[in-house]
Structure 1
Amino acid sequence: MKRLLAAALMMMTATFALGQSSGALRVYFADVEGGQATLFVMPSGESLLVDTGWPDHNNRDADRIVELCKQAGVKKIDNLLITHFHIDHAGGIPQLAAKMPIGRFIDHGPNRETTDKPTEDSWNAYQKVLADGHYQHMVAKPGDILPVKGMHVEVISADGNLISTPLAGAGQANPFCASSPLKPIENSENDRSLGTLITFGQVRILDLGDLTWGEERPLMCPVNKLGKVDIYVVSHHGFDRSSSPALVDAIAPRVAIMDNGAVKGADPGAWTIIRNSPRIKDHPGNLWQLHTAIHNDAAHNTEDSRIANLPGPDAGHYLVLTVRHNGSFSVTNERTQTTVDYPAKH
């Protein structure tokens, strides 16, 4: 009995430690099966959720987000940012709004992909939520600083537009432009993604939604308007329509986190670009995935300890990024209850 009580206490302590870190930013990467739902929780308790995953599936994605909010001590989503209106990013809005209070919605403006029925359905359902509730609503533009307390959130891209001048400390010539092939703009909601650069203390986190290869180009060539980042939330789930060498090699992330699904994203081409980027190639374990990409071989998946969900029954495991003001951060794999620490850069 004593051993059982001790084991239970250890499990409770581990869970509490995972959900709480005094003075740190916590970022939860929910498993929404190849969509996106990323929850930022500031030390003050203020929250920012980026996207809501899919609709339907018996409320699967909304329930997973709500459960993460409970673990993080979040009773209200203060800010809900919708990167774009594809169903895997915006489809879960009505289900989530029925389960959690939401303060402010942030988006790029109207849906531009009106010929795609699932996207139109997501947009129309979102408009109904806005009309039925008493929410604040903000349409963001490049260069805006979002009203999120506790971290600096600057809009990089929105509605097909991009920042026109380099961020502070950036603007150097990008040597990777010459070797990065050109790809056309898709003219889809992906091109319209609301992308942000988030700064907490000394750590910079880049999340461009599903911004495409063609839209990345003006950000990075001929000069790198972003500079280097510490954490790259891999664009577009790791599809090779995003994450060009001109972007990934120039931002040179220390860590990349890919919200792929078992059969979605993690294309070998994009995966290889990220894996071989300047600050990851010598530390391959610094690439994290939400799922083993079962359509890839072992050479195009990161090591199992850096994957939240291995092949098998749907378990909904997630990753947690903990960022400290001094520039150090860590990534925890909830499946294994293990943490990898990254020291502050010098």
Structure 2
Amino acid sequence: MRLIALCLGLSSLLWGAGRQLEAYFIDVEGGQATLLIAPSGESMLIDTGWPGFDSRDAKRIAKAAEHAGVKQIDYLLVTHFHVDHAGGVPQLAALLPIRNFIDHGESVERDAAGEKLYKSYMAVRARGHHIEAAPGTVLPIRGVRAEIVTAGGRHIEQPLPGAGQPNPFCAATKLRDVDPSENAQSVGTVFTFGRFRMVDLGDLTWNKEYDLMCPKNRLGQADVYVVTHHGMNLSGTPAVVAGLHPRVAVMDNGATKGGTAEAWDAMHHTAGLQDIWQLHFAQAGGSQHNAPETYIANLRATPDAGDWIHLTAFEDGSFRVENGRNGFTKTYPAR
């Protein structure tokens, strides 16, 4: 009986030790590639970065996967069909098996470049299982709740549990011209793990952010906000940035793409935001519109080591963030 009790206790400890959600924000030079590992061990990759460059981005994703002990991509979520997000799919598929493909459906950009990108993606998607994202869809990855809140130009109508309060930051969000591009079709997801919440809206543009968050805040608060659209000023409305009331922002910018002064100011002046972590020092931002170097994964434009930012979240809502370049780690206690 003592042996059985000891074994049960040990298995409980081992299960508890694995009860964490991990995310690697991988440097793909101003594109996006975010690798999540659920407590179940299943993996989800959000976007694949660029094609070309001797499979640079695919190799960086594979390196992060190896570091995390991931042998395959269980779910690939393509937020939208732009080359910095979906372009690397064929090269990645040559390095790692991809089981399930999630996207918003057909691309709305039908010019020659758009058709080429979409067809190259579809050729790879045909080898796996396809899930078409729709607002309200809960993805089947085990151990974390991954709920689609935007897709194909639409958003959830009913607020998520605990959300739905009037958003006081809508008044400061002035609408702009309608965006007909793939950016406005972006698949946005809210990840919930116990009391921890992370929001990633892809490259969702200004008016679509407003539609999602106004007049009522349909998402509620977030611990981590993955900065929309790499920190470009085409996105990042007050309704989203301030409305989410995030504790930490992670920006997947490049040295010369994203990280605009306007986006920086919007985040920097958000009440309750403790830190901004960046994949790159934004050259246009200078010393006034960049995080301290400790929080930046890549300081030089080129050559750089492609260092990542690594997040580990726990069910009680606490989490830690590590800079892959220098090993600097900061822990954020539960609210």
Identify which of 255, 259, 265 aligns with 1:262: 255
Shift of 1:44: 2.2
**Correspondences of 1:144-223 after superposition (within 5 Å):** 144-223=137-216
**Contact kept in structure 1, 2:39 and 2:144, CA below 8 Å:** no
Instruction: State how far apart, in whole Å, the 2-side matches of 1:217 and 1:180 are.
Output: 7
What residue in structure 2 maps to residue 114 of structure 1?
Answer: 110
Report whether the alignment pairs 1:340 with 2:330.
yes
Structure 1 counterpart SS, 2:285: coil
Q: Distance in 1 between matches of 2:71 and 2:233?
A: 37
Instruction: Give the match's secondary structure for 1:187.
Output: coil
SS of equivalent to 1:197: strand
Q: Could you tell me which residue of structure 2 aligns to residue 66 of structure 1?
A: 62
Partner-residue secondary structure (3-state), 1:251: coil
Moved runs in structure 1, 4+ residues, more than 2 A?
Answer: 117-120
Q: Say if 2:309 and 2:324, in contact at 8 Å, map to a contact too.
A: yes
**What TM-score results when the alignment is normalised by the length of structure 1?**
0.90
How many residue pairs get aligned? The number is 318
- Who is 1:93 aligned against? 89
- The residue that corresponds to 1:127 in the other structure is 122
CA offsets, 1:195-226, max 9 Å, x none?
10000111110000000011011111111111
Q: 1:228–1:252: 8 Å Cα contact kept in structure 2?
A: yes
Please give the alpha-carbon distance, in whole angstroms, between the structure 1 residues aligned to 2:316 and 2:206: 33
State the partner residue of 2:296.
Answer: 307
Displacement of 1:313: 2.1
The one-letter code sitting in structure 1 at the alignment partner of 2:87 is G
Distance 1:331 1:199 in 2: 17
Contact kept, 8 Å, 1:206 with 1:233, in 2: the verdict is yes
Alignment-derived partner of residue 33 in structure 1: 29
Q: How far does the alpha carbon of each residue in 1:131-174 deviate from its partner, in whole angstroms, 9 at most, with x for none?
A: 3x2x1111010011011111001100000011011111111111
Partner letter of residue 120 of structure 1?
Answer: E
Q: Which residue of 1 aligns with 2:236?
A: 243
Whole-angstrom distance in 2 between the partners of 1:249 and 1:183 = 19
Superposition TM-score, scaled by structure 2 size:
0.93
Deviations 1:310-330 (A, max 9, x none): 025221011000001111100
In the alignment, what sits opposite 2:281? Answer: 292
Q: Identity percentage over the alignment?
A: 51
Secondary structure in structure 1 of the residue aligned to 2:243: helix
Distance 2:213 2:21 in 1: 28
Residue 76 (str. 1) matches residue 34 (str. 2): no
Q: Distance in 2 between matches of 1:306 and 1:296?
A: 15
Q: Residue 45 of structure 1: CA displacement?
A: 1.3
CA distance in 1 between counterparts of 2:156 and 2:40 reads 29
Contact 2:38 / 2:141 at 8 angstroms: preserved in 1?
A: no
Secondary structure of the structure 2 residue equivalent to 1:147: coil
The equivalent residue for 2:309 is 319
Structure 1 position 293, deviation (Å): 0.3
Q: What SS is found at the alignment partner of 1:250?
A: coil
Q: Which runs of 5+ in 1 are unaligned?
A: 1-20
Which ranges of structure 2 fall in alignment gaps of 5 or more residues? 1-16
* Contact 1:34–1:237 (Cα < 8 Å) also in 2: yes
Q: Check conservation: 1:317, 1:334, Cα contact below 8 A.
A: yes
How far apart are residue 275 of structure 1 and its match? 1.2
Q: Give the C-alpha shift of residue 299 in structure 1.
A: 0.6
Give the CA RMSD over aligned residues: 1.0
The secondary structure found in structure 2 opposite 1:240 is coil
Please tell me whether the aligned partners of residues 32 and 54 of structure 1 are also in contact (alpha carbons under 8 angstroms): yes
Amino acid at match of 2:89: I
Q: How does 1:1-40 map to 2 (within 5 A)?
A: 22-40=18-36
Post-superposition Cα deviations, 1:264-301, rounded to whole Å, max 9, x if no partner, equal 00111111101111112xx3xx1010000012221100
* Structure 2 Cα separation of the partners of residues 304 and 102 of structure 1: 35
Residue 121 of structure 1: how far off its partner (Å): 1.8
Q: What amino acid sits opposite 1:182 in the alignment? A: L
Distance 2:132 2:233 in 1: 28
Displacement of 1:97 in angstroms is 0.6
